[in-house]
Chains A and B, each alone.
Chain A
């Protein structure tokens, strides 16, 4: 490894603004959250006890440091509401990610194998909903999923059911919402991976005696691995912390951590617990990412 060079003055000038912005409005707030999660909950506004004050100096720092408390984290792991919310979030996100993958893969494959002059149009059409309001797309499902909604009406009219199926305000609705909202995130990387594949590889496989299904299993699928991994991460990570979908489509008993956190913050004003919940959520999401990055670490890539 070469020794990292210092930035020149001009380069520093370029990076100054983004550095300052990220430091002031991202890193500092995140550190603050960590700090709040270690403070005692006091029913004041702001509803946490200030931990460090610049005026206190070093001596004050130490005395204040002794007031650090893990109470908020203790609450997190003893209160079944939080534990359930974490488990439920991970489960729902995992199921929804799997379903999204199962929907997206054939869809991406069908697009990638379409005539070349059709592909830009198809992929544009598939990605277009991403540019429309997320909130509105989730909202659109309320009218479909309700007891008196269009799906139930249609099924009754077709004589397939007699009484409406309860879909709205269930886990099912949340999963449908996630699949629908995040489909483009899964679709695009898989499509990109499939489209990139050299078609002669499949011809070579067929030439060597593999059936179309075997070719898919042994050539196409393994070669699209990167796309699948990217898609799974792009869906799973935001799905775990999702707030809007469980709030609009889920029932009062559909627990997800994003929603619990929101309520703690806005309704209960319990900042330390909400902050601790956020810290744990971050750790939950970043740990697998770091592990994955280690697994396929490529020094030529970024971040090295």
Chain B
């Protein structure tokens, strides 16, 4: 490869990663700024973090968000697994096209539309909105993502392995559990994480689906952010970013170790 291409490559990569990471890094730096103003460095301080932990509303919302994300992503992963098995393994059954389309619809459905639809439905059914409806909304929203991820994994999985298991005396369900499941375990984990992240992060659907008493963290952040830059929001954002960074770093490390052991 020519040296001019190498130079171009280096510049592009550098510029690209600066574009991706600078806003995040600046945000994190500002959370330690003693000054309230964005552009003035008032010295290093952790006062915004301290304020954060005294903010009971915020802490409660964080708890609700975590609980909601955990429950909804578990449900979405299970439903996604069932749907993916059906789509990958049951052949061209009747109503498959409808099912396939419906499962994938939330991928192209604007969140505002899905939120609106869910809210109308809850109101029409006379269901009081709250934590349960929040979870229902998030399962519906994230299920298509888990299905897509798991569908790809199940397709990768050689069906003759399950046939071999059946040939050796395992009934179909056992064959799936003993042979296919261990192989799609990584995909299962990443589908769960994807659903978890989406649910934890979602503002739009939560705003429509939830009710009083179940205000999520993104909703709190959003209502603050609309008023402008707030150091406390910087602090909680940095915490969230840090958590993701630690989780990703840990995940990458684990994968590496697992990969090395396998070799």
Complex: A in contact with B (CB within 8 Å): yes
Interface residue count on the A side (C-beta < 8 Å): 85
Distance A125 CA – B109 CA, assembled complex (angstroms): 28
In the complex, the answer to whether A25 meets B244 with C-beta atoms within 8 Å is no
Contacts between the two chains (Cβ within 8 Å), count? 243
Cβ of A219 within 8 Å of any chain B Cβ, yes or no, is no
**Dominant secondary structure of chain A at its interface with chain B:** helix
In the complex, the answer to whether B110 meets A258 with C-beta atoms within 8 Å is yes
| B151-205 interface with A by 8 A CB criterion | 172-173, 193, 197, 200-201, 203-204
Interface residue count on the B side (C-beta < 8 Å): 89
| A252-297 interface with B by 8 A CB criterion | 258, 261-262, 265, 271, 274-275, 278, 281-282, 285-286, 289
Closest B residue to A184 by beta carbon equals B20
In the complex, the answer to whether B105 meets A26 with C-beta atoms within 8 Å is yes
Find B108's partner among A106, A129, A242, A289 (CB 8 Å cutoff).
Answer: A289
In the complex, the answer to whether A25 meets B109 with C-beta atoms within 8 Å is no
Cβ of A80 within 8 Å of any chain B Cβ, yes or no, is no
Cβ of B113 within 8 Å of any chain A Cβ, yes or no, is yes
B132 to chain A, nearest CB (A): 12
| B83-137 interface with A by 8 A CB criterion | 83, 85-87, 90-94, 96-97, 99-103, 105-106, 108-114, 116-121, 123-124, 136-137
| B231-263 interface with A by 8 A CB criterion | 233, 237, 240-241, 244-245, 247-248, 252
Distance A247 CA – B117 CA, assembled complex (angstroms): 21
A295 to chain B, nearest CB (A): 17
**Dominant secondary structure of chain B at its interface with chain A:** helix
Cβ of A122 within 8 Å of any chain B Cβ, yes or no, is yes
Cβ of A14 within 8 Å of any chain B Cβ, yes or no, is yes
In the complex, the answer to whether B120 meets A241 with C-beta atoms within 8 Å is no
Distance A244 CA – B201 CA, assembled complex (angstroms): 12
Distance A146 CA – B37 CA, assembled complex (angstroms): 12
Distance A265 CA – B123 CA, assembled complex (angstroms): 13
